[in-house]
């Protein structure tokens, strides 16, 4: 949680929410909550385990966090 005067703490999560909305949520018309959960879960797995990030030297967040271990994509 960020506190008073710590506006920089929120930048990273706001960027994640923006990416999620524009790359997944706004592109799909979910009929049920279950469909939305499945779509968002798949996108989060892609974002963390497949998508390379320039700010992480073109590594995935999962590979940085888990120290280069290959993580399975299927849940």
- Residue tagged 């995935």 (tokens): 60
Does residue 38 lie within any of the structural domains? yes
Closest CA to 35 of 19, 43, 48: 43
> What pLDDT digit, counting tens, does each position of 12-33 carry?
888 899 999 999 999 999 999 9
Residue 43 belongs to domain spanning: 32-69
Does residue 53 lie within any of the structural domains? yes
Does residue 26 lie within any of the structural domains? no
Cα 3 from Cα 30, distance rounded (Å): 35
Does residue 49 lie within any of the structural domains? yes
Does residue 19 lie within any of the structural domains? no
The pLDDT value given to residue 8: 72
Cα 66 from Cα 69, distance rounded (Å): 6
Instruction: Report pTM.
Output: 0.74
Does residue 57 lie within any of the structural domains? yes
Q: What is the dihedral of CA 32, 36, 37, 41, to 10 degrees?
A: 160
Total structural domains within the chain: 1
């Amino acid at each position: 949680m960020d506190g008073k005067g710590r506006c920089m703490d929120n930048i990273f999560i706001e960027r994640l929410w923006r990416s999620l909305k524009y790359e997944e949520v706004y592109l799909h018309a979910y009929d049920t909550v279950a469909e939305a959960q499945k779509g968002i879960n798949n996108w989060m797995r892609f974002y963390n385990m497949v998508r390379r990030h320039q700010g992480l030297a073109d590594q995935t967040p999962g590979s940085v966090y888990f120290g280069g271990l290959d993580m399975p994509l299927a849940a």
